[in-house]
Amino acid sequence: MNDLPNIMFAAFPAFALLMVVELVYSLKVRGELYDTRDTAANVLLAMGNLAIALASAGLMLVFLSWLYAHRFFTMPPAAWWAWVLCFLADDFSYYWFHRFSHEVRWFWASHSVHHSSEKYNFSVALRQTWTGTISGSFLFWAWMPLLGFHPKMILFMQSASLIYQFWIHTQAIQKMPAGFEAVFNTPSHHRVHHGSDFDYLDKNYAGTLMIWDRLFGSFALETFTPRFGLTKNIETFNPLRIAFHEWAGIARDLRKARSLSEVAGYLLQPPGWSPDGSSQTTRQARRAME
C-alpha cells in the first residue's frame, strides 16, 4: 500500500499551541496547573521516547510485516469498512495493553512514568516511557496483522489514537455533552484514570472509546476532583529517575525473593503485591473492605 502521512509529526505544532493556550488559561484562572520543572521533565521524556520510537520503528515494521505475511485473511486498505474495523481493533488492543499496564507490574514499570506527574495538563500527555518497546507493549497488537490489517494501517491508527489522547489531558475542560461523554474518552473520564485516590485506582483504561471500560467493568465517573500522581510519589523531576524508578523498585524486590514463585509474583502480579501481604494490590484492598 502507499505510504501514509506521518500524522504524529504533523500534530506537534498543534500540541505546542494547545500547551501555550492552556498555560495562558492557567495563569489567568488556575495558576497551579503548570510547574516549570515538571513540564521540562515531560518534554525531555517525550524527546527520549521519540528518539527510541524512531530507532525501533524499523524493527516494529519488520515484526508486523512478518506476521502479516502469515495472515489468515486480508483487509483491503482501500475499503472504508477495513479502516473502521482497524480503528475498533486498535482501540480494543489499546484497552487491554493499558489495562495490563496497570495490572501486571512488568508492564507497569514502563507505564508508571506517565502517571508520575502530580500535575495534570497537556504537557503530561508527553510524559512517556523509554522502555515500552523493551517490555513488549507492541505484542498487544500482534493479532491484528494476522487477521489481515496491513502494518502501515496499524501504525497509522496507533498514531491517531495517541493524537486523540493528547487533548484529554487537561483540567480546563470540565464536561463534554452527555452523548459524547457516554461514547468517547474525555478529560473528565481520563482525570479519573490519572487520579491516585483509592476510588479512582485502575479505572477508565480507554484510548478513544469508553465502550470497553463499560463492557469490562472498569468504568468510573468523575465525582470529585482527583489527586494526581502515584499512590506513593517519587518526588523528583530528573528524567532518568522518572524513567527507571519502578524498574529499580522491581530489582530491589527481586533481590529479596526467596523462590521462583516470589520472583514471578514481583514481576507478574499487580503493583503492590507482596508474598507476605505486607502490602496489597488495589484489588486485594477492595476485597478487604467488602
Specify the pLDDT at position 70.
Answer: 98
Mean pLDDT of the chain: 95
Residue 257 grid coordinates: 525473593
Q: Does the pLDDT value for residue 288 go beyond 90?
A: no
Q: Does the pLDDT value for residue 287 go beyond 90?
A: no
- Residue 248 CA, chain-centre distance (Å), reads 20
Average pLDDT over residues 102-114: 98
Q: Does the pLDDT value for residue 100 go beyond 80?
A: yes
- Residue 267 CA, chain-centre distance (Å), reads 19
Q: Does the pLDDT value for residue 18 go beyond 80?
A: yes
Specify the pLDDT at position 2.
Answer: 63
- Residue 116: strand, helix, or coil: coil
Task: Give the whole-angstrom CA distance, residue 186 versus residue 8.
Answer: 20
pLDDT band at 5 (very low <50, low <70, confident <90, very high): low
Q: Is the pLDDT higher at 264 or at 24?
A: 264
pLDDT in tens, 237-256: 999 999 999 999 999 999 99
Specify the pLDDT at position 96.
Answer: 98
Specify the pLDDT at position 30.
Answer: 67
pTM of the predicted structure, to 2 decimals: 0.96
Q: Does the pLDDT value for residue 279 go beyond 70?
A: yes
User: What percent of the chain clears pLDDT 90, i.e. is strictly above it?
Assistant: 89
Give the residue from 250, 191, 180 showing the smallest Cα distance to 220. 191
Domain ranges of the chain: 7-240
Specify the pLDDT at position 57.
Answer: 86
Residue 228 β-bridge partners: 195
Average pLDDT over residues 52-64: 91
pLDDT band at 1 (very low <50, low <70, confident <90, very high): low
Task: Give the whole-angstrom CA distance, residue 24 versus residue 67.
Answer: 47
pLDDT in tens, 135-191: 999 999 999 999 999 999 999 999 999 999 999 999 999 999 999 999 999 999 999
- For 56, other C-beta atoms within 10 Å of its C-beta total 15
Q: Is the pLDDT higher at 57 or at 19?
A: 19
Total residues found in the chain within this entry: 290
The CA-CA-CA angle for residues 148, 150, 155, to 5°, reads: 130
Q: Does the pLDDT value for residue 68 go beyond 80?
A: yes
